[in-house]
Amino acid sequence: MARVVKVFRTLRNHWKKSTFAVCVLSYGGHWLYGKHCDNVLRREACIEARAFGHELIGPQEHLKKAIVILNPAACNGKANRLFEKNAAPILHLAGVEVKIVKTDYEGQAKKLMELMDQTDMLIIAGGDGTLQEVITGLLRRADEETFSKIPIGFIPLGSSNSLSQSLHLVSDNKVQHITSATLSILKGETVPLDVLQIKSEKEQPVFALFGLRWGAFRDVASSISKYWYLGPLKTRAAHWFSSLKQWPQTHQASLSYLAPVPRPPDLPTEIPPRPNLLYRIYRRLNNYWNPPIEELAKEPEPERWESKDISTLELTVSTHNKNPVKRREDDSMVITLDSDSLTVGQFITEGTKKVLNPMENIEDASQIEASAASLNLPEEGAGFYDIDNEEYEAMSVEVRLLPRKLRFFCSAERREQLAQAQ
């Protein structure tokens, strides 16, 4: 008992040191527990992946080949370590023949896609920038009709991973997020995603999965980092200082667009069984003696463009890829025009929300469903676009929807969540 009293007396007499020691031990214990939980998640994912590796393959079958486009600079230079610890072991245990291609500089992924050979799957390991570069390089190929049929996997390793919310279960744990995304690639379930083709007269086309932004909210969002010293107030401060420099911040342009196109029925995923021999002989003889009459091809109807002059705070052209499972009657993209009659207070409030969710609509915004759009901007002072969170110089462009152009691996759990949210 005397020893216990002596310990408490010592702690009381040296309470500063005791408090510091408790804080250090608490932080260390929490850190060690987090590392233990991460190791458990990795072990469980590897056990699940090993089951795929133990599956038998036929004598005429070959190992699945995967090309991984890895951006080591993503996530502030941590992407390479995250991939090697959390994704690479899962792919190797599953028996996938992996070829890892690392990018060295911005824009290299576009050039690498021009040299890519045929593969069973393409895996993009990085963030929004890497994803946008790979998609653009892939669809710029002369033989893109063949290569666009390759299923694509996305492993979220970047600071911004917008597509991950549409494909994988959302998790605050980085390890769980990466391992579950890698396992969804092995399971093989895919969803079709729309693609936007953004083409100007001067540059090659750029392709996007989510959309294009042009306007005041985009301009302010790119300058928020300048006010880092204001802490949690930097977002509101950036919008307020922007309104002091210029108000109202309206953007004028000429907009032309085409109406949505009815969506054709989905093609069957399973190949129908081949008819028996007698039926095939009968059908061939019938076609020989009674050849089918070929119908004259109908001339395509001319495109009916609708035009209007717009004055808006911000223009957004977006796809429906946030919920790719949702059934839609038309193939369309959404053109959103934010009202230019907002007060400064509303501009600050709505702009703060848009920083967290750039594609969120503000009050009194008008929307147009279209299959294609042409945006004619003034020659000077047009500013910049954000195309899938990547900055491009703003110029007159034509935006066309390529419906269900690419197929991405998706987790079954996330697919079910999105289906229930319809």
Q: Which pLDDT tens digit goes with each residue over 323-365? A: 888 888 888 999 999 888 888 888 888 888 888 887 777 877 8
CB neighbourhood size of 6 (10 A): 10
Mean pLDDT across 393-397: 89
CB neighbourhood size of 416 (10 A): 11
Residue 296 pLDDT exceeds 60: no
Say how far apart CA 98 and CA 67 lie, in whole Å: 6
Say how far apart CA 246 and CA 342 lie, in whole Å: 14
Mean pLDDT across 86-91: 92
Mean pLDDT across 51-70: 86
Say how far apart CA 374 and CA 354 lie, in whole Å: 25
Q: What is the pLDDT of residues 216-228, one digit of tens each?
A: 999 998 889 888 8
CA-based radius of gyration for the chain:
27
Residue 88 pLDDT exceeds 60: yes
Q: How much is the pLDDT for 409?
A: 93
Q: How much is the pLDDT for 186?
A: 92
Q: Which of 98, 190, 195 is nearest to 152 (CA)?
A: 190
Say how far apart CA 139 and CA 270 lie, in whole Å: 26
Residue 165 pLDDT exceeds 80: yes
Mean pLDDT across 106-121: 89
Q: Where are the beta strands (DSSP E) in 200-351?
A: 206-208, 211-215, 251-258, 261-262, 306-312, 314-318, 330-331, 333-337
123 touches 67 (CB < 8 A): yes
Please list, residue by residue across 268-279, b when 16 or more beta carbons sit within 10 angstroms of its beta carbon and e when fewer do.
eeeeeeeeeeee
414 touches 191 (CB < 8 A): no
| Reported pTM | 0.84
Tokens of 77: 């230079």
Tokens of 320: 């429906």
Q: How much is the pLDDT for 269?
A: 56
Under the banding of pLDDT at 50, 70 and 90, the label for residue 263 is: confident
Q: Where are the beta strands (DSSP E) in 163-280?
A: 190-199, 206-208, 211-215, 251-258, 261-262
User: Within 94-127, where are the H helices?
Assistant: 108-114
Q: Whole-number mean pLDDT of the chain?
A: 86
Proportion of the chain above pLDDT 70, given as a percent: 95
Q: How much is the pLDDT for 155?
A: 93
Under the banding of pLDDT at 50, 70 and 90, the label for residue 422 is: low
Chain centroid to CA 340: 29
